[in-house]
Amino acid sequence: MLLSLGEQFFFSRKNTEHTLLATPSSDTTHQLPHSIEAQFVTPHTRHPEAWIRQKRVAVPPLFQLDPTDPWQWDTLPTTPLPMTNPDWSENVNHTEEETNSEHDEHTGTPSPEQALPPQPLSAPAQQEELQHAEEQQKELQRTEEPKEAQPVFSPQILKQSTSTPTPVTLTLLKQMRCWIQADDGTQVEVKLRKGEHAIRLIQLAYIAWRRGNAVDRDKVLTYAIARGKRRDMNADQLGEVFDAAKRYLRQDLDRAVKELEKNGHPVTGDIDFFSNESGFYSLHPSCRVIDLDKIEEHYNPIKVARKEGLLDEKLDGTMPDWVIHACQNLIGAYPGDLIQSLLEKFPEEFGSWVKEPVTLYRDKYLDALLIMANHESALGRNVFDNNLSIEHNEEQRRHHIGRAAQLFYDYAMYSINTRWDQKVKFAYRAGKDGERVIRAARAMRRCVVELGMLGNPDMIDQVYLAFKERMSTLSEGTWKPDKDTENDVAEAKKTTNAYRFSFQRSTQQQGHVQARSKEVTNKSMSTPHSTH
């Protein structure tokens, strides 16, 4: 019985397996290929919701995609996923071309979408892709073409952003003046009361020339106020003078504001001369020193040109036009030294503090003068225009030489016209001559050489004697010209004599030629003509 039961169970199981194999279903038909395909299909394609956040490829810090936006996470490719077969994609080469055309902006690895088997594309779509790739390649070649050398400096760099106009403006060069401007643009001058020995203006100048930089109140009392009759005052008395000067200056400003408002020109906003913070005083934000700002604006291009080597780059001495314009504008914007009128009228009221701003802006003015002098001298040696005649070229040459001589003379004489310049020093005091003394003598030598080329001995004597007299006065009679200066003056006179003699000879020869031609003309006119 048991054997019969086992035999029945065995045959029933065998029939079931035979039935399953004989009747295949759709579920089991593709089971094996599906398992094989699963070995190549990425998890991203099977379960996209689990791969929304992909790890980005790190960008090397020295090879950023865009220096202005170093963290472009949205545009970076995703990290390549495992089990990705790049041979499935027919656009691998196209991807590599796009990668090269973007200057290695991406890593060049295929994206997750490229891991899928490629879908059949229509021929027009493929042609459009190829055309797009060719256009990108051409655009890349155009961008990589060598460009023409750009100038080292462009005048556009000089254009500063226009700051908000301030209602109160000051000028400190030559003399101190002040204006106030209403909201509608109407402007009137503020009549500043000087006070005793111009102490109020001196206090204002001490703070204003720093153009917003703060200074300690104790330094104002010590260096600006404790001078002249106030030298023996104590700290409290000096403080009273300081406060009184502030009060009177504020009254002068209020008076001008009321005058504008009375005529229908209101002035809004907080205005003042001084700003105070923890015992440190600076120029108020509503106030600006316009002439010092203008000098700085014109001098910035000169500094850039010198840094880039543009002042002495050309063999013929030519310079970029924007450098010449900057020098000319600076010279025209410099009427005189800082508070020069007060220094001349009240010299005992000033201490050594004033030498710093005076020297600072004299440096800029004299630098522009010397650059222009060297420029004109080089043009006088090298200028020649093929479109002009010999006479016109000679006139142009003499014009530039004359301009150079005048500029060298201006430099030499202005360098030594004041004692308030820190660089005006003489050997009997400082052990050696200062920069102004040395360079003034050198400029005078250049001046007399230029005048010698013009053949004008009278001008050589005139300028050199004036220079010697000023140097002697400024040095209290101790300065003596060096051998180089004396030799250059003597050589210039020799050059002048040679030029004068050659000019006289050419004039005599021209006179003989004219006389000879006149004689021939008279003879031809006196000879009777035969008539036929």
- 234-257 burial, b at 16+ Cβ within 10 Å, e below that, comes to eeeebbebbeebbebbeebbeebb
**pLDDT-wise least confident of 114-123, 179-188, 415-424, 488-497:** 114-123
Contact 441, 485 (CB under 8 A): yes
The C-alpha atoms of residue 425 and residue 359 are separated, in whole angstroms, by: 13
pLDDT surpassing 60 at residue 458 = yes
Give me the percent of the chain exceeding a pLDDT of 70. 62
Contact 198, 346 (CB under 8 A): yes
pLDDT band at 312 (very low <50, low <70, confident <90, very high): confident
193: helix, strand or coil? coil
pLDDT surpassing 70 at residue 278 = yes
**Helix and strand totals (H; E) in the chain:** 18, 7
- Best mean pLDDT range from 112-121, 126-135, 351-360: 351-360
> What average pLDDT does the segment 464-491 reach?
89
pLDDT surpassing 80 at residue 94 = no
> What average pLDDT does the segment 477-502 reach?
78
* pLDDT at residue 476 in the model: 87
pLDDT band at 485 (very low <50, low <70, confident <90, very high): confident
pLDDT band at 108 (very low <50, low <70, confident <90, very high): very low
Q: pLDDT tens digit string along 346-387?
A: 999 999 999 999 999 999 999 999 999 999 999 999 988 889
> What residues contact 383, with CB distance under 8 A and at least 6 apart?
393, 396, 397, 400
pLDDT band at 250 (very low <50, low <70, confident <90, very high): very high
pLDDT band at 89 (very low <50, low <70, confident <90, very high): very low
Residue type present at position 246: K
* pLDDT at residue 427 in the model: 80
**Mean pLDDT over all residues of the chain?**
75
> What average pLDDT does the segment 204-232 reach?
94
Contact 310, 325 (CB under 8 A): no
Q: pLDDT tens digit string along 2-53?
A: 556 665 655 555 555 444 444 444 444 444 444 434 443 444 444 444 444 4
Contact 489, 460 (CB under 8 A): yes
**pLDDT-wise least confident of 47-51, 125-129, 237-241, 247-251:** 47-51
Domains assigned to the chain: 168-289 (1.10.10), 383-512 (no CATH)
* pLDDT at residue 182 in the model: 95
* pLDDT at residue 499 in the model: 53
The C-alpha atoms of residue 450 and residue 470 are separated, in whole angstroms, by: 21
Which has the higher per-residue pLDDT, 256 or 58? 256
Contact 283, 205 (CB under 8 A): no
